[in-house]
Amino acid sequence: MSTTRRRRPPVADHDADIDSDSTSTSTRRRSSPIRGAASDTRDQSRRLDFTQRGDVDAAGVVILVALGLLIILHQKFGFCGLLWVVLFGFFRLLWVALLSFGRAIWPLLWVAVPALIMILPIAMVVEWVRERLGVARPPTTTGRGGEGNDSRISTEESANRGGPRKFTYKELEEATNSFASDLKLGQGASGTVYKGHIGKDRELVAVKIITSGANQGVSDFIAEMVAMIQLSHTNLVKLKGYCHERDKIVFALVYEYIGRGTLYDYLFKPEYFLTWENRYNIALGLASALRYLRRKRPQCVIHRDIKSSNVMLDEAFVAKLGDFGMATLVNHIGEPNSSLVAGTPGYWAPENFRMGELSRKSDIYSFGVVLLEIVCGRKAVCRDRDPLNLVEWVWRHYGPKKLLRAVDSRLGKDFNKREAKALMMAGLWCAHPDAKLRPSIRKAKAYLNLTSEPPDLPSEMPAFPY
C-alpha cells in the first residue's frame, strides 16, 4: 500500500519576508544617521554660504557708502579725505576676502601692504603741506537756524589757535555802553554796527548786531561766520569773535575796528579826498583780496556784495574787504547752484539780476564797477546824469579814445596816466556784460600791475547776451 506524502507548504518565504522587512528597517535605521549628517553638512554649508554672501553684501553697502563719502569729503576736505575713505574701503574688502578665501589671499597682501606703507607717508606729507599753507577745514554747522533750532558753530579749535572767540552778551553791552546811539557806526541790510572797547586792554572793536528777521538773521549770522572764521588776509577785515545767546535771540559778530571809514566816504563825500597813489594801492589791495578768496581751499568764497561801502580803509589807507553776510562757499569745479539775487543795484552782474544766476564772475563784475568808481569818482548809479550807469558812461569815453577825460576832476593832473588807463580798462573788462568774456581775477590783477597786455575791448558797450 503505497502512501502519499503531503508536502508541507513552504514557510521560509514568509520568514524571509519578515527577515527582509527587518533587514530593511534595520538598514533604514542605520542609514538615517548618515543622511542626517549629510543634511547637517548641507545646512552648515548653506549657512556658511549665506554668511559669506552676507559679508559680500555688507562689503557692497560699505562701497556704496564710501562712494558717497568720496564726494562729500572731496568737497569738504579735498585729497586727504578721499585718501582715508579709500584706505578704509580697502581694509574692509581685505577683511571680507580673508573670510571668504582664507590663505588664497595671502599673495595679495604681499602687494597691498608695501603699497600702503608708501601711501600713508604721502598722505601725511600732503596733510602737513595743507597745514603749512593755512588751508583750514570749514567749521561744522548744524541746521539752517530758526526758532527752536540751535545752530552751533564749532569755533573752539579756532579760538584755541588765536582765532575768533566767543563773547557773552554782557561783554558786548559793556563794550558798547549798552549799544549807545553815539557809538553807532552804521547800519546795513543785515545788521547794525557799533564801536566798542572790549577786554581788559580796552581794545577797539566793531560790533555787528544781526538785525534781520528770525530765520534770516540766523542764516546771515551763519553765512558770515562760516565765511570769515577760516579767512585771514591783509586785505580782509579780521573777525575777532562772535556772540550767540539763544535765550536773548542775539547774534553778533565782533570785528577789528577800522578807523578811517569806508572807500565810499573818501570817494563821494566832499570832506574826504584820496590821492592817486592811495587810489591805485586800494585797487591793488582789493584785487589781492579777491585773488585770495578765489584760491581758498577746499572751497572758494563768493562775496556777492562787493561795493565801495564794503571796503574799509585803515590808518595807512590799506583796503580791507568786509561784510560777508551774503557770502557763499562753492566748489572750485562746476558752477554754484543758487537762484537768489543778492547784492546792490549798480554792482549787480547782468546775469544775476536778469536771470537770477550766480556765477564766480559775479564778483568780478562788481570789482570792475568799484575800479571805475576809484578812478572816476562817480557812483555806480547816478540818477541825475545820463547815462545813469557808470559802466556805460565810461564805455562812451573809451570808444572815441577819451578815457582820461573820465578821471576824477578833483585829481586835476596829479595822477599817473598809464595807471589810470589800466584801471579803467580793467574795470570795463571785468564789467563786461558777457560773463564768459570777463577775465579771471588773476588776469585782471596782472594787468593792474602792468605786467600783461591790455584786453581787446569793443569800441561800443556790448549788449547783454542772454
Q: Do 195 and 206 meet the contact criterion of CB atoms below 8 Å apart?
A: yes
One domain for residues 318 and 418? yes
For residue 315, the SS3 value is coil
Is the residue at 76 inside a domain?
yes
Q: Does 215 fall in a domain? A: yes
| 278 and 369 both lie in a single domain | yes
In a domain, 466, yes or no: no
Rounded Cα–Cα distance for residues 140 and 72 (Å): 13
In this structure, are 238 and 278 located in the same domain? no
Domain count for the chain, please give it: 3
Last residue of a domain, one of 237, 256, 275: 256
Residue that finishes a domain, picked among 202, 237, 256: 256
Any catalytic annotation for residue 305?
A: yes
Q: What per-residue confidence (pLDDT) applies to 103?
A: 60
Question: Tell me, what's the pLDDT at 14?
Answer: 45
The rounded distance, in Å, linking the Cα atoms of 37 and 33 is 6
Considering only CA atoms, which of 224, 211, 212, 81 is closest in space to residue 153? 224
**Residue 358 shares a structural domain with residue 214:** no
The torsion of the CA quartet 308, 314, 320, 325, rounded to 10 degrees, works out to -70
CATH number at residue 329: 1.10.510.10
In a domain, 9, yes or no: no
**Alpha-carbon distances, residue 180 vs 192, 193, 207, 267, 416 (angstroms):** 12, 11, 12, 28, 44
Torsion of CA 9, 11, 16, 19, to 10 degrees: 160
Same structural domain, 345 and 377: yes
Locate cell 597682501: which residue? 109
- Taking only the tens of pLDDT, the chain with its 466 residues reads 444 444 455 544 444 444 445 444 444 444 455 455 555 555 555 444 544 455 545 555 555 555 555 555 544 445 555 555 566 666 666 666 666 666 666 666 666 666 666 666 666 666 555 544 433 333 333 333 333 333 334 444 444 455 788 999 999 999 999 999 999 988 876 788 999 999 888 899 999 998 755 456 677 777 788 778 888 899 999 999 999 877 767 889 999 999 899 999 999 999 999 999 999 999 999 999 999 999 876 788 889 899 999 999 999 999 999 988 888 888 766 565 555 556 788 898 888 776 666 777 899 999 999 999 999 999 999 888 878 899 999 999 998 889 999 999 999 999 999 999 999 999 999 999 999 999 999 999 999 999 999 999 999 999 887 6
Query: Rounded to whole angstroms, what are the CA distances from 444 to 233, 330, 369, 432?
Result: 19, 21, 13, 12
Residue 237: per-residue pLDDT: 95
pLDDT score at 383:
82
Do 107 and 72 share a domain, yes or no?
A: yes
300 forms beta bridges with: 330
Domain membership flag for residue 17: no
Write the DSSP assignment of 414-466 as a string of letters. -S-HHHHHHHHHHHHHHT-SSGGGSPPHHHHHHHHTT-SPPP---SSPPPP--
Instruction: Answer yes or no: do 293 and 215 share one domain.
Output: no
Q: What is the CATH number of the domain that holds 177?
A: 3.30.200.20
Residue 20 lies in a domain: no
Domain of 428 in residue numbering reads as 261-448
My answer on whether 270 and 197 are in the same domain is no
- Could you say which of 21, 55, 220, 305 is catalytic? 305
End position of a domain, from candidates 241, 256, 271: 256
Known binding residue 208? Answer is yes
Residue 160 covered by a domain: yes
Q: Please tell me whether residues 336 and 381 are part of one structural domain.
A: yes
Q: Are residues 432 and 418 in the same domain?
A: yes
Please indicate, yes or no, whether residues 319 and 247 belong to a single structural domain of this protein: no
> What is the DSSP annotation of 4-37?
-PPPPPP-HHHHHHHHHHHHHHHHHHHHHHHHHH
**Are 200 and 124 members of one domain?**
no
In a domain, 463, yes or no: no
